[in-house]
Structure 1
Amino acid sequence: MLVRVDAPSPPRSRLDVRVSGGVVRGTRAGGVLAWRGIPYAAPPVGERRFRAPQPVVPWPGIRDASRFGNVAPQAYKGQFRGASPKVPSGEDCLTINVLTAAVIPRKRLGMPVMVFIHGGGYTVGSSQDFTGQGEGFVRTGRVVYGSFNYRLGALGYLDFTRYSTLERPIESSLGLRDQVAALEWVRANIRGFGGDPNNVTLIGESAGGNAVITLMTTPAARGLFARGIAQSAPSNAAYSREVTAAWAAEFVEELRALHPGDDSLASPADLLTTADAVDLVRAGLVLQMRTPVTTPGTFCMAPVVDGDFLPERPLDAFRHGRAHRVPLIIGTNDREGSVFRGRLDILPKSPGRIQAIFEQAPASSHDAMRNAYPGLPLKRPASDFGGDYAFWYPSMLVGEHHSRVARVHVYRFDVAPRLMRVLGLDATHGIEMFALFDSLNGRYVRTMTALGGLAPYTSAGERMRRHWLQFACTGRVNDAWPAYSEIERLTLIIDTVDRVESDPRGERRAGWREFMPEI
């Protein structure tokens, strides 16, 4: 009798991973395995525009995951100019990237996961920002790293629900919903890449930092991450439906102006759902530039407190202990506001905008605030006032409130190459990112360090990376960095030589407490 013996199936390559929707094939380079452009939700196009993210559409066979997905439609402008115009963009942008070390000891399976949310004012940027992003973390063989794109601008951060109809429903908080969907994808799929879905650290800078803070108060995100790191977060940037409804109406009028005399687009819902994405970006840019002038201290592309998906203002949730009780690292840079100039000047820095902010504050607090920023509204104190208003003081409030219910560590990044100091920028908004990601070979860093300072800048990034890595792996930081409390307010100052200070800039903090008691 003949017995048939089937040949054993060849072992599947580590580059082939089954995820929601099918199998993806990654690439290997420089000691890193990378899977890029993996869909974490269905393309939000056509009838899915302005709708909550839907489940991934399955694909046949093996999907090539060697290239990044589309960046969200944007004007390619911003602090670091956003994504390059050469990078493909489109509304079909809901993709995620995963990195691991090429060689991982067996005992490292089920590794901690770090997920990065990019910044860019919720209008520019992508998961491609910073060459080599995340590779410095994964080469240690200790973590799995993820990053993702989400809807930006009007497509993700304006609330058009007032124009929703039965025939054409429109939902709110779309960019925030995308972020939750990406974290749900991590929860469902990261084991296939060697990660532990119950040990996720969420990291974000600028708008991404705001996203971390907001997700910490979003009910749908509960349990999707174990700890957070918020860098330079504009923590107070979240607005009510009443405020955002007015911005939505302005946007519709701007969009309508791009289609004069077109009677077929009389309905706002029709206009919004059929307009070209380029026109949505153009109209959004006009609104974005106008808002800080008409309503100083606000930024129209921000999370919406819709009472449902985001039930309350994040700062209120932190104040009342209703944020997710996960450990948090939060901090800002020395002079956040100095880089916002010209068309980028969205902060309350001009005399008129500063005066508008003062008019909202108790008259009894004005003298203390002017003492905290001598020379206001001259250029340097105005930059510091604007940066502290948007980034530093709200972040300190988050740290203060959250320290009552969870472990918090606060930092300030002070390192700036000599040219940045000569230009009066110092350690400004976003300067730490190139050092953190060891992305030091590009033109921006070469220019920034042309007059020296590369070595201390690089070293500061290495130390920061070690802190972030230890936090992601253990939930704690080095013993030299004490926890933050309302009593001592111990803060790590990341400088040429790191140090710990108690309540740095306490005079400013006291001034802001009187100046903005309702924040």
Structure 2
Amino acid sequence: MSNLQRRKFLKQSAAIASGVTLSALLNQPVFGSAPKKASPVASTIHGQVRGYVDDGINVFKGVRYGADTAARRFMAPLPPESWTGIHEATAYGASSPQGSRGGDNMSEDCLFLNVFTPALRDQGKRPVMFYIHGGAYSGGSGSSPLYDGVRLCKRGNVIVVSINHRLNAFGYLYLARFGGTEFADSGNAGQLDILLALKWVRVNIAEFGGDPANVLVFGQSGGGAKIATMMAMPAAKGLFHKAATMSGQQVTASGPLNATLRTRAMLEALKISPERAGEVRTIPYQRIMEALGTKDPVLPFGSVYFGPVLDERSLTRHPFYPDAPAQSADIPMIIGNTHDETRAFLGGDPTNFTVGWEELPDKLIPNMRVDIQPEVVIAHYRKLYPNLSASDLLFKITTASRSWRGAIIEAEERAKSGSPSYAYQLNWATPKDNGRLGAPHASDIQMVFDNIDKPGATAIGEQAQAMADIMSETFIAFAKNGKPDNKLIPKWRPYTLRDRETMVFDVPSRLEKDPRGEERKLFEKVPYIQAGT
């Protein structure tokens, strides 16, 4: 040990002996280094982590919130073991095993989160914006450049947290009916991961300058659906205080019997008999990944569906059926969608832009996701929009029947119970690719995070930053106050059954009463059941 190191050690030991806290000690600059450039170190209940500074924001990536799930495959997660020394937190952690969207860094050891914060240990009590990524329940991670929290932190003096958790079969394969207590939580393991991350926030976020009593959960697509599900999970009560869903809703969960049929299909693909179901806990995880493409035995389309299960354990009721869950009635909620949702799903097929009137019914049948005569729907829409082409109606009809429907149900059920809800529709269409995709699914992410310059962003043109300003300021205001009002939008009144108030995000934005009202009325005549149910 050098003389300099010995003096530093003796100084720290004396400080600790005299009652100086570890947090206070960590706030001191490293000898010989400028405080502004020092790598930030934070203390969690499990151990210390070292991050880095990006544009004045302290960034901690790949912070462990749960133990390796490989040894507890299909079981509820556990907190991590405590560690000694300082763990480096400068790179994203592994994502859950999945398809190609997971990249090269995939592992069952995937319970990691990321924290972006303006300051540490300053008792700032900043609002916490806890983001849950999309990708249905099957793919994605918290590592996308679009979810980078630096700009939100700088703009709003907030904390941003993003997470990874178990997905697809690893998070939602329902094995409970095949016996064994180890399978009891298998249908909702991915949801339980998210709750564990929220518990981590509750006990650790003050160290990062955040307020554990002011947590907004927000998420897009599957992330929004996970939030809707949590609003009906008894174990989630008290872990978050506001919610915002972006093109993601969960009216009904997967039924246990249909979920069992899907598990049987997976076991068959793995060549494991139901009597030997326990073997699925120990086979190489790559074999499970290879079976994810198994045809769904319940739905007439797609590979096997994974999502939350009505297991009468973690989830004892459907999220928004037959009504809005009473346990979250007092939680303010934003429920949003985009104007052209299905252009993201169907826009990759060139024939969908050239479809004729005779072909349109057959195009609609697999894509409306509700059981109604397509000819009746087409006739109704041609009266509403006589100047639109068959291609335009394909996207408009599928958006209303497949994507908006669940969000409207959630807003209406919350309005019936008097719960504070704010509905929005993103109308602003990027001029990218001559505007052919309009405002598609996922186009609001870049706006809310104010990340239109990040890889993967599609917002271009002179209005793009103005639109990002509007949406990011709105979400920041909601995180702080539970109300989205700010100087960049008109007064946003909560959604009521009388007026169905909806903020139409555009440049400028406006509050409308019941946009798409005639479309809503048409599809109300047929039941809506979530695809996984």
Q: Which amino acid aligns with 1:390?
A: R
Cross-structure match for 2:439:
427
Deviations 1:265-321 (A, max 9, x none): 885424411222222122113346x865358xx971221111221111111164464
2: distance between equivalents of 1:486 and 1:184?
35
1:67 alignment counterpart: 91
How much is the aligned-residue C-alpha RMSD, in angstroms?
Answer: 3.3
> What SS does structure 1 have at the residue aligned with 2:48?
strand
| Alignment check: 8 A CA contact 2:251 2:409 kept | no
Tell me how far 1:145 sits from its aligned partner.
1.3
Partners of 1:381 and 1:508 lie apart in 2 by 12
Select which of 55, 59, 68 maps to 2:79.
Answer: 55
- Corresponding residue for residue 409 of structure 1: 422
1:460 is aligned, of 445, 458, 467, to 467
1:34 aligns with 2:49: no
CA contact (8 A) 2:370 2:401 kept: no
Equivalence for 2:403? 391
- What is the 5 A alignment of 1:293-308? 293-294=300-301, 300-308=305-313
For the residues of structure 2 that align with 1:373 and 1:242, how far apart are their CA atoms?
A: 40
**Aligned-pair CA distance for 1:516:** 2.1
Partner residue of 1:502 out of 482, 502, 513: 513
Give the structure 1 partner of residue 223 of structure 2: 208
Q: Which residue of 2 aligns with 1:93?
A: 110
Equivalent position of 1:224 in the other structure: 239
The counterpart of 2:380, out of the listed 371, 377, 398, is 371
Question: TM-score, normalised to structure 1's length?
Answer: 0.84
Report the alpha carbon displacement of residue 503 of structure 1 after superposing the two structures with TM: 0.2
Asked if residue 186 in structure 1 is aligned to residue 201 in structure 2, the reply is yes
Measured after TM superposition, the shift of residue 126 of structure 1 is 0.6
| Corresponding position of 2:44 | 19
Mapped contact 1:234–1:390 kept (Cα < 8 A): no
User: Which residue is equivalent to 1:382?
Assistant: 394
Say whether the 8 Å CA contact 2:42–2:120 is kept in structure 1.
Answer: no
**Amino acid in the other structure paired with 1:40:** Y
Partner letter of residue 407 of structure 1? P
1:331-342 aligned at under 5 Å gives the runs: 331-341=336-346
Shift of 1:102: 4.5
Q: 1:311 to 1:136 in 2, by over 3 A?
A: same
Q: Does 1:327 align with 2:332?
A: yes
Unaligned segments of structure 2, at least 5 residues:
1-9, 28-39, 351-358
Aligned to 2:321: 316
The answer to whether the aligner puts 1:140 opposite 2:140 as a matched pair is no
> Aligned with 1:60: secondary structure?
coil
| Alpha carbons of structure 1 residues 508 and 440: separation in structure 2 relative to 1, 3 Å | same
Structure 1, residues 215-252: CA drift from partner, whole Å, max 9, x if none? 11111000111110000013335211011111111111
The one-letter code matched in structure 2 to 1:461 is: A
Contact 2:270 2:288 in 1 (8 A): yes
> Take 1:344 and 1:326, find their aligned partners in 2: how far apart are those partners?
40
Counterpart in 1 of 2:288?
Answer: 280
Verify the 8 A CA contact 1:18 1:192 in the aligned structure 2.
yes
Change (3 A) 1:151 1:511: same
Q: Distance in 2 between matches of 1:396 and 1:208?
A: 17
Question: Do 1:252 and 1:268's aligned partners in 2 also have CA atoms closer than 8 Å?
Answer: no
**1:170, distance to aligned residue in structure 2 (A):** 6.1
1:269 aligns with 2:272: no
Q: Distance in 2 between matches of 1:268 and 1:307?
A: 24
Counterparts of 2:381 and 2:514, CA distance in 1? 15
Aligned-residue offset at 1:481: 1.5
SS of corresponding position for 2:96:
coil
2:52 is equivalent to residue 43 of structure 1: no
Q: Tell me the secondary structure at the aligned position of residue 242 of structure 1.
A: helix
The one-letter code of the counterpart of 1:492 is: M
Amino acid at match of 2:81: V
User: How much has 1:437 moved relative to structure 2?
Assistant: 2.0
TM-score normalised by L of structure 2: 0.82
Counterpart AA for 2:114: N
1:304 aligned partner, one-letter code: V
Deviations 1:421-449 (A, max 9, x none): 543x211100121232233334543xx46
**C-alpha displacement of 1:166:** 5.6
Q: Is the alpha carbon distance of 1:167 and 1:230 closer, same or farther for their aligned partners in structure 2, counting shifts above 3 Å?
A: closer
Residue ranges of structure 1 left out of the alignment (5+ in a row)? 77-81, 257-262
Q: Is the 8 A contact 1:416 1:457 kept in 2?
A: no
1:170-185 → structure 2 map (5 Å cutoff): 171-185=186-200
Give the drift of 1:350: 8.4
Equivalent pair of 1:132/1:438 in contact (CA under 8 Å)? no
What SS does the corresponding residue of 1:302 show, helix, strand or coil?
Answer: coil
Deviations 1:64-91 (A, max 9, x none): 1122111111112xxxxx34x24x1100
1:360–1:417 Cα change, 3 Å: closer
Does the CA-based 8 Å contact 1:163-1:268 persist in structure 2? no
Aligned 8 A contact 2:368 2:397 in 1: no
The secondary structure found in structure 2 opposite 1:315 is coil
Q: How many residues align?
A: 487
